[in-house]
Amino acid sequence: MNSLLRRAAPLAAAAAVLAAASTAWYAQAGPTKPAATPAADTKSIERGRYLARIAGCNDCHTPGYAMAGGKIDEKAWLTGDKVGWQGPWGTTYPSNLRLVLAKMTEDEWVRTAKTAQYRPPMPWFALRDMAESDLRALHRYVRHLGPAGEAAPAFLPPGQAANGPVIAFPSPPAPKRSAQ
Instruction: pLDDT band for 176, please (50, 70, 90 cuts).
Output: confident
Q: Is pLDDT at 21 greater than 70 in this prediction?
A: no
DSSP characters for 63-126?
A: TTTTTTTT---GGGTT---S-EEEETTEEE----HHHHHHTS-HHHHHHHHHH--PPTT--HHH
Instruction: pLDDT band for 1, please (50, 70, 90 cuts).
Output: very low
Each domain of the chain, given as residue ranges in start order, spans: 38-79+96-152
Question: Mean pLDDT across the stretch 63-91?
Answer: 96
Q: Which residues contact 78 (CB under 8 A, 6 or more apart)?
A: 52, 57, 58, 61, 62, 96, 97, 98, 142, 145
* 120-150 tens-digit pLDDT: 999 999 999 999 999 999 999 999 999 999 9
Question: What is the distance between the alpha carbons of residues 23 and 25, in angstroms, rounded to a whole number?
Answer: 5
Q: Is 2 exposed, middle or buried (0-12, 13-18, 19+ CB in 10 A)?
A: exposed
Question: Mean pLDDT across the stretch 148-173?
Answer: 93
pLDDT of residue 142: 98
* Higher-pLDDT residue of 32, 171: 171
Instruction: pLDDT band for 40, please (50, 70, 90 cuts).
Output: low
Ranges 15-29, 34-48, 75-89, 158-172: which has the least confidence: 15-29
Q: Is pLDDT at 9 greater than 80 in this prediction?
A: no
To the question of pTM greater than 0.85 for the whole model, the response is no
